[in-house]
């Protein structure tokens, strides 16, 4: 196959013969390494060399995360367009580990590092609000007396702040899939409208500079859109090393100009997807390991804050020597104890939840009694002779068939 041909990649969401797991792992480590700078110097460090370069690496790493997410989520929805399974998968992937990490910080680590008494700690409303809010990616909750004297004061887990944008992207993708846009031949029109909106926000208005949500949302949304486009048009767009060279050259050419951001994000996303699907051989042995990137992403910040509190004055390289191995250890444990088991049982969980919703629907039909008795008559849209209840069968002395017996017990609580 010529290297200039389109990359005809039929993505299987269950396949592991790619480098995306390795790429996410390396990206998570780069984000963790940069966040350690914030732990040492505060959330607004001076951007002189080499701190400025490391902060830029963190920004690039987050954009890679969103670009890969756009590519992989589009792949999942286009190959298996089941919205219920999609929604459940997203919840299982994000929320359980956030819940466990929030519990750990609130009720294990928090009381040990807090500067207030146990009575004050457990009597503060923030403690009881922390777990539910953090589970749904709200990063601004503080815990009483926790990390109050740190350079990044009171920041318990600021690293999860990007997950709110990820959840919004998931929701919008679900809506787009439900409307059939991902399989529409006019998908390119909707992509074009979105690009126009991005350009208007970025170059024709001051909204991004005035509204913090738009500042980050436009950047992450553009990265997600580039990933979506690369998968949706994978049969038409070339994916090769020459393309990588070209997009990197364009990013370098527009560096320090008003158009730097979109070209940089395009270069990052295109290069990340190329790295994810093209190189093979020994590099793919990494797939034998677990997917530890999310665990590193969730745990590294509180670990860094705890290490700093117990070692005041620790410098950045020494902090890294503590934080990266400890974060990896927590990520390995969380993957094998929480994430992987839940993902393996995703099908069973989906069936359980669907059956629950189905029962709620049936109980809501006309004539169904949900307080422990049988219904008086079947739903209005079902003929009573073909779909009798137990009461109907008993009153008419009818010996039910197997199918009728199943229906007759269907509405029993």
- Segment 40-62, tens digit of pLDDT: 887 666 555 566 676 777 788 89
**CB crowding 90-117: b at 16 or more within 10 Å, else e:** bbbbbbbbbbbbbebbbeebbbebbebe
Residues 160, 46 within the same domain: yes
The answer to the question of residue 7 being in a domain is no
**Each residue of 126-179: pLDDT tens digit?**
999 999 988 887 777 889 999 988 888 888 998 888 999 999 999 999 999 988
Residue burial 128-137, b: 16+ Cβ < 10 Å; e: rest = eebbeebbeb
Assess whether 325 and 218 both reside in one domain. Answer: yes
Confidence at residue 204, expressed as pLDDT on a 0 to 100 scale:
87
Which whole-number Å values give the CA distances from 223 to 93, 173, 308, in the listed order? 20, 14, 33
pLDDT of residue 64 exceeding 80, the answer is: yes
Confidence of residue 72 (pLDDT cuts 50, 70, 90): very high
% the chain with pLDDT above 70: 79
Length in residues, the chain: 413
HEC profile of 130-183: HHHHHHCCCCCCCCCCCCCCCCCCCCCCHHHHHHHHHHHHHHHHHHHHHCCCCC
- Are residues 336 and 214 both part of a single domain? yes
pLDDT for res 37: 86
Q: Which of 346, 373, 389 is the last residue of a domain?
A: 346
Give the confidence band of 375 by pLDDT, cuts at 50, 70, 90.
very low
The confidence score (pLDDT) of residue 205 equals 87
Q: How confident is the model at residue 366 (pLDDT cuts 50, 70, 90)?
A: very low
Domains in the chain, number: 2
Residue-level pLDDT at 57? 79
Q: Is residue 14 part of a domain?
A: no
Tell whether 309 and 370 lie within a shared domain.
Answer: no
Residue 282 lies in a domain: yes
pLDDT digits (tens, 9 = 90+) for 178-236: 888 888 888 999 999 999 999 999 998 888 888 888 989 999 999 999 999 999 999 89
* Residue 394 domain boundaries: 364-410
Whether residue 231 is contained in a domain is answered as yes
Asked if 342 and 372 sit in the same domain, the reply is: no
Looking at the domain assignment, is residue 301 inside a domain?
A: yes
- Res 413: pLDDT: 36
- Answer with the one of 294, 314, 346 that is the final residue of a domain: 346
Task: Decide: 294 and 163 in contact? Cβ < 8 Å.
Answer: no
Q: Are 143 and 110 spatial neighbours (Cβ–Cβ below 8 Å)?
A: yes
Would the pLDDT of 300 be above 60?
Answer: yes
One domain for residues 342 and 374: no
Are residues 177 and 220 both part of a single domain?
A: yes
Q: What pLDDT score was predicted for residue 408? A: 55
How confident is residue 370, by pLDDT bands cut at 50, 70 and 90? Answer: very low
Is 311 in the same domain as 388?
A: no
Establish if 100 belongs to a structural domain: yes
pTM: 0.80
Are 302 and 376 in the same domain? no
- Last residue of a domain, which of 317, 346, 375? 346
Residues 46 and 186 in one domain: yes
Q: Do 73 and 25 lie in a common domain?
A: yes
- 8 lies in a domain? no
- 212-232 and 51-79 helices, crossing angle to 10°: 50
Q: Are residues 172 and 222 in the same domain?
A: yes
Q: pLDDT averaged over the chain?
A: 83
The pLDDT score that the predictor gives to residue 371 is 39
- Mean pLDDT for 323-340 is 95
Asked, for residue 10, whether it belongs to a domain, the answer is no
Tokens representing 110 are 């928090």
């Amino acid at each position: 196959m010529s290297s200039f041909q389109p990359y005809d990649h039929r993505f299987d969401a269950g396949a592991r013969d790619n480098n995306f797991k390795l790429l996410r792992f390396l990206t998570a480590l780069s984000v963790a390494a940069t966040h350690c700078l914030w732990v040492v110097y505060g959330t607004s460090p001076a951007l002189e060399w080499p701190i400025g370069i490391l902060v830029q690496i963190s920004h690039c790493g987050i954009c890679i995360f969103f670009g890969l997410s756009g590519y992989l989520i589009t792949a999942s929805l286009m190959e298996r367009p089941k919205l219920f399974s999609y929604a459940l998968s997203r919840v299982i992937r994000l929320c359980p580990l956030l819940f466990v990490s929030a519990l750990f910080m609130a009720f294990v680590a928090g009381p040990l590092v807090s500067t207030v008494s146990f009575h004050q700690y457990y009597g503060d409303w923030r403690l009881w609000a922390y777990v539910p809010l953090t589970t749904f990616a709200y990063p601004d909750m503080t815990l009483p007396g926790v990390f109050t004297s740190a350079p990044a004061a009171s920041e318990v887990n600021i690293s999860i702040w990007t997950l709110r944008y990820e959840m919004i992207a998931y929701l919008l993708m679900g809506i787009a899939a439900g409307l059939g846009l991902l399989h529409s031949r006019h998908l390119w029109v909707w992509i074009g409208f979105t690009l126009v909106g991005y350009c208007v926000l970025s170059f024709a208005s001051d909204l991004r500079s005035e509204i913090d949500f738009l500042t980050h949302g436009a950047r992450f949304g553009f990265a997600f859109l580039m990933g979506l486009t690369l998968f949706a048009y994978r049969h038409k767009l070339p994916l090769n090393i020459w393309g990588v060279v070209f997009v990197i050259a364009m990013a370098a050419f527009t560096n320090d100009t008003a158009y730097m951001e979109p070209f940089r994000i395009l270069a990052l996303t295109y290069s990340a997807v190329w790295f994810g699907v093209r190189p093979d051989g020994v590099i793919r042995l990494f797939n034998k390991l677990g997917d530890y990137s999310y665990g590193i992403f969730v745990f590294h910040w509180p670990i860094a804050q705890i290490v700093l509190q117990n070692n005041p004055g620790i410098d950045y390289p020494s902090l890294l020597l503590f934080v990266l191995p400890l974060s990896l250890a927590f990520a390995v444990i969380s993957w094998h104890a929480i994430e992987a088991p839940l993902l393996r049982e995703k099908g069973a969980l989906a069936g359980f939840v669907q059956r629950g919703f189905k029962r709620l629907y049936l109980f809501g039909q006309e004539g169904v009694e949900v307080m422990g008795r049988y219904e008086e008559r079947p739903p209005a849209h079902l003929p009573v002779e073909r779909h009798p209840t137990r009461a109907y069968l008993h009153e008419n002395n009818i010996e039910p068939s197997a199918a009728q017996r199943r229906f007759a017990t269907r509405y029993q609580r």
